[in-house]
Amino acid sequence: MISLSGVQFGSMFAGLGNTQTVEHSQDFTVVSLAAGASQSTDVTIPVERGETLNRLQIRLNGLESEWRPITSQFNFYNNSSVPSATERISVFPGMDGDNVVLFVYRSNLTGSARNMTAFTLDVKIRVMRPPF
């Protein structure tokens, strides 16, 4: 048994090495959607190895200034109050073989046709190398 207090690095521990960094940007342009309609797009980003502990961050550039690390569903509403929001953007991360696949979903929440706001999806992926 050992104490981890103050240990920066010890050869008895494996680290989580990082073998690849991938950055990707994709524009989502203005699109007109009918009342209540939605549009979905798969963003496929190849990485060197799918069986990893990837770390993923996204930003909706043009809508938010912050980056957000995600492992699960990401939601953005274009109003601070969900009931009055007019647009929803969701991003669902997943893997397909050696590809990171982001399912991007834009939905018009209003009762009439609407031009959906343009944005750029920025993505940063760290391909981590676990010991297994």
Partner 1 sequence: MPISDPRQVYFASQYSIDKIIGTFEGSFSAPGATGVVNVTTTSFGTSIPESTFFQGIYSVDNGDNWNRFNNDYGTDPISPDLDVYGYSTADVFVVTGRNNTFDSSSNFTVLYKVALIAKPDQGDITPQPIGSNIAFDSRENYLKIIEDEHTAISLGAGASTSYRVPHNLGRFPQAMSYLELSSGVGALTAGLYELDSVLKYLSADNVVNEGGAGATSSGLYLTTGDAVVKIKAGATAFAGELYVRVYSDD
Q: Is 94 in the site for partner 1 (CB under 8 A)?
A: yes
Q: Is 79 in the site for partner 1 (CB under 8 A)?
A: yes
Nearer to partner 1, 36 or 97 (CB): 97
Q: Which of 34, 35, 48, 68 binds partner 1 (CB under 8 A)?
A: 68
Backbone angles phi, psi at 109, to 5 degrees: -90, 0
Nearest to 93 by CA among 24, 29, 27: 24
Contact code string over 38-57 relative to partner 1, x by CB under 8 A: ------------xxxxxxxx
Nearer to partner 1, 21 or 32 (CB): 21
Q: Which letter, b or e, does each residue of 25-44 get, where b requires 16 or more Cβ atoms within 10 Å of its Cβ?
A: eeebeeeebeeeeeeeeebe
The one-letter amino acid code at 53 reads L
| Binding window for partner 1 (CB under 8 A); candidates: 27-35, 86-94, 112-120 | 86-94
